Structure 1
């Protein structure tokens, strides 16, 4: 990058104000007047304020006569007759900039045609833009872009350039830079170029499956492409690759189902894929043993290469990822894509920062990039073209790949308007598609009421949020390894348990719960982040393994049979362990891979979880969409510590039984429990076994609850 030498700097901070920074070594930081040079015209600037800085004097000036037009070159001259170029400053973060340069077209990026390929980028602050094309035989040629309206630049190449590599070269503040189109649908090996592709040759479009009647009908299973099949004992040939999902009938060494057949048998409705868009942390070289979950996003619309059998072939990457989704669809399993629009890998190197410096990322009151994400940058979703990029990207994945829903990483960084716009646009394609996100309250410079977080859940109807009340009440704090929740034996949490088992909506009409409706509560006790439940228990409980397994099963049972959306981490159903590692995002495959030997070893627990899923699906009372139905039909109580019962009454309109009684017992001592009076009960689950058709009839007035157990009775 060329470095420009300036004796002092001038920045356009609004369309009517220019800030000068004069170092003290330049005439002691002193000038009495400044003039804007616009072609042959000279326009006096009014000095409004002088502010001494540590190493320079800051002058705030205004221009009264007319507004600056971006895309043109201006100069400033002072009383010493020293000139400097007018650089683009904080003006790009003004509302006027957003309104003036918002572009509502749907053709940013590359529009491929046989005879003419059109390239469009949005870069209002650029004074020139060029296209660099590299042919398959490595010949490079450049074409100029033409500036259009609203800060959009267009380049038409009147020849067939399918398969060509391309990059964008903008000139901003007299400096040329080079970047890959942020709208690129394909990238070259190791993300060095954008690639012109004909999507018609990259497998036909996928279509999403019809949405379920309600998000609470979903059972979500979170997995990573590589983790799923990486282990040799997985029985899959294409270990760690997209193509593992195409393999049918795979088994573990002892003949237990694995792969996509296993997912089908388990009965989950949705698979949530950790990021599959292009990310850093792993190269595309098959011999690279580096590991990364994928939360270092590079290009949001292009498939990751390290999961492909042919990462050097952009079309093959697309075909393989589309096939993953189609193979899951063929088994009636929907796909939720984990998306990371809250940040980029490295802000300074990102295409967004190079195209419109300072626009796409939030800055604090001192003008420095904010860091609510903890990775050095926060994407400014509240700005119109940033919001547009996110919405455009979401719609592309739905319309081209057939994605059925989305999970938003660190959704609390995004703003309410953006998430509402996503909900509205997604519903035009697939009404009722599952949208969920991490609504953590993060330290990013947005007004509190604008953050898409748990505190503002009532503004985010139709969007589910990971319920940390549920997680921490049942399991114990994620941030304190030794904190224990109800399932781990911590008594005196019963009132909190009652709340989270019933969707966290509040059990009286006047009580404000965390959520307005149960469809907003994503219930979970483990995910890819933090310790697995098994590893947390091993660290903080000095109990024998049989009790630990009972506690684990109790927690998973509570996830699957609570009001809201149940969420399972892959392998949770067979006590997944990462050998005690808390944050395994870059740990070796040996730590992160799904252990199919444990799937064999604990098949009885797998069958138990499978039966619980069937029980959940069999009766609508487990899956109420509306909070008033929970308040009408559900009664939760606790008669002693470490014991909760949940009674559903008059629910025959929603399924085969009129009454459902669930009992959750986390004490290590057995106890007597008196059943509600009335007809005999049928036991569907005793914490070790479960069957939707019933395990046994119960005609006694009371039952002995086993240590650390759960029960489901119906009549």
Structure 2
């Protein structure tokens, strides 16, 4: 998520960010009582429903019961009773199934306003009221038998980042449930050219993980007006523990969104694909009116020295992961998605706002469920958070967070150019200077004797302890997609050059020792009409046009071939820093815009004895000196064939212009 998107999302908070948090009898936030056990706020049985809200600074708390998820007034108001550890409790001895509820907290003669609580697990339309449902009734048939697809190592992951609407909304998708969770359950969907789309396309491509953009209940799309087709990426959290209603077929029925989300996960698991959820615990959509602030004012957010809200997210607030109840909340939320929805991983937005201890606690909790769950995030913040940098989950501190990965903007920008200038190119544009940063990415951001960190663009030291702590990518949702970036940064680029350089970029990504990550649709040369930040753009900008799969069949085949090459050859995914240092050797090259390396001595048990990868962004072929031998060519001129594209002999090879060459002994 980037600043121009953030600033717009933050408009709703602009009038409240300077409000000082409420003060009370506790001398500091560190002295607030911590609720033991689960943070569950509603426990239902047909005989009795128990409500528990943590609100240690409240003078009074009311529970309101409603017949509907929106409109009308409460049919009953229940006074809650102050209890231990800062909680307030109420017991309703009747069957409340199908009803809705809110809490209202009073502090110093002021009622703060209705909230579904901070921990609602089901909500009505637009998430303003929590719902009382039977969670087991939301399980699709066979849910108890649902299993995560096998994943031996995070090095084996291939991540595909997508937005529900982008992926399925275009008429060319052939998908019935366009823009919905259920779009990813439909099999046999075809483009007009009779090529696979949807979940069948993902299987054909060979990805192991689908990373879905934020799919919890977010604020910016009015679920009562879905015919307006209002678009958002979802980085504006409202209720963290409930799927968003705009992706369900009925946002008014609290059970439907939950069941359909589970059906999506189940279908992807059956297809052999894991599911990663993009989570945005670093800020909330609004501040004064947020569920957090209406429950325990000030506690869940960090403050500036003058008591105004800190704003490391550039959205009007930053959450205080370092405070015990916020940390506990984040850990429990992650566990809820893992256990209730069978998710397989998380991508943390602006992870650098969170403290290292909290991220390590989350990793520990996830590992206890399943060690193969992957966790990665943006190792930066939008502005400086209100904590010392050495205590935050910033990219430079990744080595202190085992089992957690960060995105490598070093490799990304060395390939295509800096984020802050769409029109400036880099290696792909034939500009010199990015080679060392690309090498930094190829080894997975670890220490390597042949990487000169003084010449790396953003990091003057390695930050990953293991290569699987680096996400390797060249573009993602919140930036120009790769096609647009190449068009913008290389004036006069021809369609042929565009396809060649697109393939070259992804060869660097998929042969790197980090975890490869691609943006949905790049495998069919998706463009977004040059829009850099499309978080509110219409479908005409964001939708994937599936007719491109036929038009760019060679590009799709190349991406598919890269993924298969990586899967078939463990040399490209060693997953261990010592193995990378032992087996990955950069080859000397003359001049700029050429990077070459050798994976030697049957690296990581690979059947191929020596593998050489050369990346040439020059407009002319490049000579490369290699160890003497007989080599089989498996990647050349934009084609991949593991059975061989020819044979080379001797100690010198020619790397074709603006493309990659991969050969092996």
Task: Say yes or no: TM over 0.5.
Answer: yes
Q: Who is 1:121 aligned against?
A: 53
- CA drift of 1:92 comes to 6.7
- CA drift of 1:90 comes to 8.7
Is 1:166 matched up with 2:107? no
Is 1:632 matched up with 2:568? no
Provide the rounded CA distance (Å) in 2 between the counterparts of 1:713 and 1:113: 64
Aligned residues: 625
Provide the rounded CA distance (Å) in 2 between the counterparts of 1:569 and 1:350: 31
Q: Show CA shifts across 1:491-515 (max 9, x none).
A: 2332222222111212139985121
Matched residue SS, 1:291: coil
Contact 1:537-1:548 within 8 A present in 2 as well: yes
Contact 1:222-1:271 within 8 A present in 2 as well: yes
Provide the rounded CA distance (Å) in 1 between the counterparts of 2:309 and 2:147: 38
Contact 1:408-1:438 within 8 A present in 2 as well: yes
Q: Show CA shifts across 1:251-307 (max 9, x none).
A: 100111100000001000000000110011111133122110111111001110111
Q: Given the alignment, which residue of 223, 237, 245 partners 2:162?
A: 223
Q: Who is 2:422 aligned against?
A: 481
Provide the rounded CA distance (Å) in 1 between the counterparts of 2:151 and 2:25: 46
Matched residue SS, 1:657: coil
Is 1:143 matched up with 2:78? yes
Matched residue SS, 2:245: coil
Q: Given the alignment, which residue of 620, 624, 627 partners 1:669?
A: 620
Matched residue SS, 1:226: helix
C-alpha distance 261-160 of structure 1, shift in aligned 2 (>3 A)? same
1:283-432 to 2 correspondence within 5 Å?
283-284=222-223, 285-432=225-372
Is 1:104 matched up with 2:44? no
Q: Who is 1:564 aligned against?
A: 514
Q: Who is 2:473 aligned against?
A: 524
C-alpha distance 653-552 of structure 1, shift in aligned 2 (>3 A)? closer
Name the structure, 1 or 2, with higher relative contact order (CA <8 Å, separation 6+). Answer: 2
Q: Given the alignment, which residue of 134, 137, 153 partners 1:201?
A: 137
**Which one is further off, 366-375 or 701-710?**
701-710
- CA drift of 1:485 comes to 2.0
Is 1:696 matched up with 2:632? no
Contact 2:441-2:514 within 8 A present in 1 as well: no
Q: Given the alignment, which residue of 401, 425, 434 partners 1:460?
A: 401
Q: Who is 1:179 aligned against?
A: 115
C-alpha distance 454-92 of structure 1, shift in aligned 2 (>3 A)? farther
Contact 2:499-2:555 within 8 A present in 1 as well: no
Q: Given the alignment, which residue of 180, 186, 191 partners 2:127?
A: 191
Q: Show CA shifts across 1:624-671 (max 9, x none).
A: 122111111111133321111110111255221111110110000123
Provide the rounded CA distance (Å) in 2 between the counterparts of 1:535 and 1:650: 40
Contact 2:124-2:131 within 8 A present in 1 as well: yes
Contact 1:208-1:398 within 8 A present in 2 as well: no
Provide the rounded CA distance (Å) in 2 between the counterparts of 1:497 and 1:647: 15
C-alpha distance 611-92 of structure 1, shift in aligned 2 (>3 A)? farther
Q: Show CA shifts across 1:187-241 (max 9, x none).
A: 1112231111110111155655156222111000000011110000111111111
- CA drift of 1:545 comes to 1.9
Select the structure of larger CA radius of gyration.
1
- Structure 1, gaps ≥5 residues long: 1-86
Provide the rounded CA distance (Å) in 2 between the counterparts of 1:369 and 1:449: 21
- CA drift of 1:526 comes to 0.3
Q: Who is 2:8 aligned against?
A: none
Q: Who is 1:471 aligned against?
A: 412
Deviation beyond 6 Å, 4+ runs, structure 1? none
Contact 1:208-1:404 within 8 A present in 2 as well: no
Q: Show CA shifts across 1:474-497 (max 9, x none).
A: 111111112222122112332222
Matched residue SS, 1:166: strand
Q: Who is 1:538 aligned against?
A: 487
Q: Who is 1:583 aligned against?
A: 533
Contact 2:583-2:603 within 8 A present in 1 as well: no
Q: Who is 1:507 aligned against?
A: 448
Q: Who is 2:567 aligned against?
A: 617
Q: Given the alignment, which residue of 215, 220, 230 partners 1:276?
A: 215
Q: Show CA shifts across 1:506-554 (max 9, x none).
A: 2139985121210110011100011112112211212222112211110
- CA drift of 1:423 comes to 0.3
Matched residue SS, 1:470: helix
Provide the rounded CA distance (Å) in 2 between the counterparts of 1:456 and 1:675: 37
Provide the rounded CA distance (Å) in 2 between the counterparts of 1:351 and 1:652: 52
RMSD value, Cα: 1.8
Contact 1:618-1:692 within 8 A present in 2 as well: no
Provide the rounded CA distance (Å) in 2 between the counterparts of 1:582 and 1:669: 31
Q: Given the alignment, which residue of 174, 198, 201 partners 1:235?
A: 174
Provide the rounded CA distance (Å) in 2 between the counterparts of 1:516 and 1:424: 17
Q: Who is 1:18 aligned against?
A: none
Provide the rounded CA distance (Å) in 2 between the counterparts of 1:130 and 1:94: 24
Matched residue SS, 1:537: helix
Matched residue SS, 2:232: coil
Q: Who is 2:609 aligned against?
A: 658
Provide the rounded CA distance (Å) in 2 between the counterparts of 1:92 and 1:714: 67
Q: Given the alignment, which residue of 9, 14, 23 partners 1:88?
A: 23
Matched residue SS, 1:302: strand
- CA drift of 1:397 comes to 0.4
Provide the rounded CA distance (Å) in 1 between the counterparts of 2:148 and 2:159: 15
**Which one is further off, 135-144 or 634-643?**
135-144
Contact 1:553-1:687 within 8 A present in 2 as well: no
Matched residue SS, 2:613: strand
Q: Show CA shifts across 1:158-189 (max 9, x none).
A: 11101101000111121123211121111111
- CA drift of 1:611 comes to 0.8
Contact 2:637-2:656 within 8 A present in 1 as well: no
Q: Show CA shifts across 1:327-363 (max 9, x none).
A: 1000010000000100000011101001101111111
Provide the rounded CA distance (Å) in 1 between the counterparts of 2:230 and 2:478: 18
Q: Who is 1:450 aligned against?
A: 391
Provide the rounded CA distance (Å) in 1 between the counterparts of 2:28 and 2:534: 37
Provide the rounded CA distance (Å) in 1 between the counterparts of 2:450 and 2:626: 28
- Structure 2, gaps ≥5 residues long: 1-21, 454-460
C-alpha distance 653-513 of structure 1, shift in aligned 2 (>3 A)? closer
Contact 2:628-2:649 within 8 A present in 1 as well: no
- CA drift of 1:713 comes to 0.8
Matched residue SS, 1:394: helix
Contact 2:80-2:90 within 8 A present in 1 as well: yes
C-alpha distance 695-452 of structure 1, shift in aligned 2 (>3 A)? same
**Which one is further off, 638-647 or 385-394?**
638-647
Q: Show CA shifts across 1:552-590 (max 9, x none).
A: 110011111101100000011222211011110011111
